Amino acid sequence: MSGDILDNRGRGEASWRWPSIHPEGRKYALIVAAAALVFAFLAWETIAWPLGVLSLGVLAFFRDPQRITPQGDRFIVAPADGLVTLIQKVDPPRELVLDDGSGVPGLAAGQVTRISIFMSVFDVHINRAPIGGTVRRVVYIPGRFLNADLDKASEENERQHLLIERSDGVKLGFTQIAGLVARRIVPFVKPGDILAAGQRVGLIRFGSRVDVYLPEGTEPRVLLGQKIIAGETVLAELGEQQLIEGVSQ
C-alpha cells in the first residue's frame, strides 16, 4: 500500500497488516533473544523467559507502521505518536533562530506556539516530517535525561533541532528530545535533503518527546491531552487561529 493514494470518498484499498520492524531495533532484539537462548540452554528458566518476553517488547518498540498522510498545502501533520502534554507561547530555540553560517535564515525571533508531544515506551518512536520541504538545519545538542514530560526538558535534555523550509519560504522547526530512558536520537536526514510531509526523519529510543514550533499566526487544531498519530493527525493549518475546545470523558 506504500505510495498509494486514498481519499475520503473511498478511493484506494486499505487492509490491516503487521507493522514492519525498523532495522535499528532488530539488532537489539537479536541480542536479547540470544541471551534468552543462552540462559535457556543453561536451564536458568527464571531468567530465560523474561528475556524472551523482553525481546518481543523490543520488537514492538521499534515497530514502523505505514501511515496515511493528509495532503494539503496548509496542513502541518504530527511528527510523533503520543500525548499532547504542553501547548505554550515560547521563543523558538536559539539554534533555530541565530545565523548558522549557511546563508539560509532561520526562524524569525519572537514568541510562537509550541506543541509538545510526549511519547511513552508504548508509542511508535519513528518521527516524521510535519511539512514537506528542504531540510535546512539538523543541530544535535548533548544534555541531561530528565523526564521528557517536564517543560525544562526542552532546554536541558539531549535533543536535536530540525528546520524544514517549503518552496514558498514557509519554515517550521521541531525538536526531538531524549527522556529518562532514551539515550540516543537517531537521525535519518541531513541538511539539503528534500522531504515529503509525513516522511520518516529519525527515531528516539525508549521514551521521549517532540516539540513543534508553529509558524507565526497559526494555532493548533489539537487539544491539550489529545492522543495523536505521527504522519496522520493534522496539528494545525497555516494561518488558522480558531479556538477549539474539548471535553474529557
Task: Based on the residue annotation, tell me whether 15 is a catalytic residue of this protein.
Answer: no
Q: If we measure between CA atoms, which residue out of 140, 221, 216, 214 comes closest to residue 178?
A: 140
Q: For residues 120-141, b (16+ Cβ closer than 10 Å) or e, as one string?
A: ebebbbbbbbbbbbbbbbbbeb
Cβ neighbors of 196 (< 8 A, separation 6 or more) are: 69, 129, 132
With DSSP H G I counted as helix, E B as strand and the rest as coil, what are the percentages for the chain, rounded to 5?
20, 30, 50
Q: How far apart are CA 98 and CA 108, in angstroms?
A: 9
Please state whether 3 falls in left (phi above 0), alpha (psi between -120 and 50) or beta.
Answer: left
Contact 214, 172 (CB under 8 A): yes
Q: How far apart are CA 238 and CA 7, in angstroms?
A: 21
Please give the backbone phi and psi of residue 130, each rounded to the nearest 5 degrees, phi first: -70, -30
Q: Which three cell numbers stand for residue 7?
A: 481519499
Q: Which of 55, 116, 154, 208 does the annotation list as catalytic?
A: 208
Rg (CA), the chain: 19
Q: How far apart are CA 77 and CA 130, in angstroms?
A: 5
Positions marked active-site:
208
